[in-house]
Chains A and B, each alone.
Chain A
């Protein structure tokens, strides 16, 4: 149930933790509101955290000098004192960040108990990153990766850019196979300015190739943070009894007993996750593995941590 703005009626009553719960976020239909919803919930929980200064926090007033952005004029002070002051903020550096979202068909997957599909989760998370970036005066760009680099937006600041990014994220459907490595290689070739690459993918691909592409990005001076997003059903093989497992991308089938292979499956999956994590960290990047049931703050904190490191 949602109102005209696409917000659940319970919106007002939610606690900060609930803002970050995918089950709750799912009820917000519009992506921009969803991002706002997540970020505001996240910021509400940051009061005592070391990341407090990352939000658009007012620092001090100083006298206006020609050349200052008139948008920063504090009209309340002017009304009271008849003098022009501008607001200054703690974070005034401009960061260029790319939201690299995997749009392959495998990302459309939602397990039986999944609150949202991997793609929905990645989109909400990317939108939240974009929201945070734009509202801190940073520049945000977009790279949608399927078989290759399907869509590319150079980083810019401002709400209009955020709207463009969100529109692209909303518009592009999950389809086709995965060639994340090819997309990242293309991105590495096209982006010359040192940027923060926020890669959101399930990484259902060959680790060697993907890590090779990340190495390419790192070699170009980009900071890479990889958010691996899996469904809980993928993570734990939450099925029981005899099943025919079918890959939605390739149509490949395996008939097996889910209970019988669960341990071996988890072992193999975790091994691959560990390979990614080790590989990305060795390249100076960061790696976060999560499921669609993970609260959004985990990824947002990682993002803020990475941004602080770059400041």
Chain B
């Protein structure tokens, strides 16, 4: 179960309020003289169980009211990832497998095994912007290179939680707003896969995002000559497509390294041994963070065919084993067909608990009111 805004869950601390009221109420007993105490003594013993039950029921009702209120505001829902994502989807493959992809490679194996495409979503902090080609555009282009003009990027907030939850792999480009980082954390917590790509601005992920990704990174010196990946060092699945040169030569492009990772095993290394990509694990989720971005100002990678293969390899490496499909914002993992027409919307079985929680909240409020009113009416009748 994930939440629209998990930060609201912090309000669960308010559960302490009814508890404190309950405990303070117990201490408030005042001494009252009463010559007929012996009747009260017997009544006290006789009704102990019933009184405890009433008191506990009232406390439980109040706790439930607070908890349900907070949960309702937090917007819980059962994500499709908890229903085996995409199992019921009818997504059509949008992009053909890269022409350079080796037949019988991992991609084909995955397709044969799962028979369903990967849903890839590209999230950009800045959101859609016209007139300028940016890193997110380039990543998006690799998944719909034949329909690049139709590709729109989105922020996490614009994409909506269902689209995020439905994605098999999210390419998370650049720094994000804190609330979006929270969304990312939730997505990873339920087993999502994220490829983090440095954005246009040369800055490492902030502490919150780094924690969400499970990596630590700092800004690196901008090496003017660039660094090439050792073509002889292909050992990772990330670059399996390049084995034997079928996917191209990753050593040929010029990278401009921007980040240095700490305490993370390199999934992909530069020639000098430093990490070009590191893998992290956050609960059930997998992350992959790149040290070099694909922006045009950073190197010539984006202009090469290897870039397309690399992006697909990254998605395959971290995501579930399925065929790729690019989901444009608003299509909620429906994707587009090869000719650009929208594919059938995926039947993503998300379960929204909000109405049920609201109903339970109303029931609990009524129960609390009845229990409290009974106590109050007893008090009033006592005074009268």
List the interface of chain A (C-beta within 8 A of B): 106, 109, 202, 204, 230, 233-234, 236-250, 252-265, 267-269, 272
Contact = CB atoms under 8 A, between A and B. Distances in A.
Interface string B16-58: 0000000001101111111111111111101100110011000
A145 to B, nearest CB: 15
A-B pairs, top 7 by smallest CB distance, nearest first, are A106-B35, A264-B43, A260-B51, A240-B379, A242-B29, A259-B378, A247-B37
B132 interface: no
Residue from the set B30, B35, B378 with the largest chain A CB neighbour count within 10 Å? B35
Given A240-B379, A242-B25, A265 B33 contact: no
A146 B170 CA distance: 89
Given A236-B382, A252-B38, 6 more contacts: A109-B33, A240-B379, A241-B28, A243-B31, A252-B37, A252-B41
Nearest to A206: B38
Interface of A is mostly: mixed
A241 to B, nearest CB: 7
Given A240-B383, A241-B25, A265-B43, A246 B32 contact: yes
B28 A242 contact: yes
Interface residues of B, number: 30
Contacts of A241: 25, 28-29, 379
A200 B28 CA distance: 36
B375 interface: yes
B38 A237 contact: no
A259 B382 contact: yes
Contacts of B36: 202, 204, 230, 234, 269
A237 B382 contact: yes
Nearest to B28: A242
Contacts of B50: 260
Nearest to A250: B37
B383 A254 contact: no
Interface string B215-226: 000000000000
A268 B42 contact: yes
A181 B43 CA distance: 25
15 contacts: A230-B36, A234-B34, A237-B34, A238-B382, A245-B34, A246-B33, A247-B38, A253-B31, A254-B37, A255-B29, A256-B40, A261-B47, A262-B382, A268-B39, A268-B42
A248 B32 CA distance: 10
Contacts of A255: 29
Query: Which residue among B33, B36, B46 has the maximum number of chain A CB atoms within 10 Å of its CB?
Result: B36
Nearest to B32: A243
Contact of B30 (A243, A249, A256, A262): A243
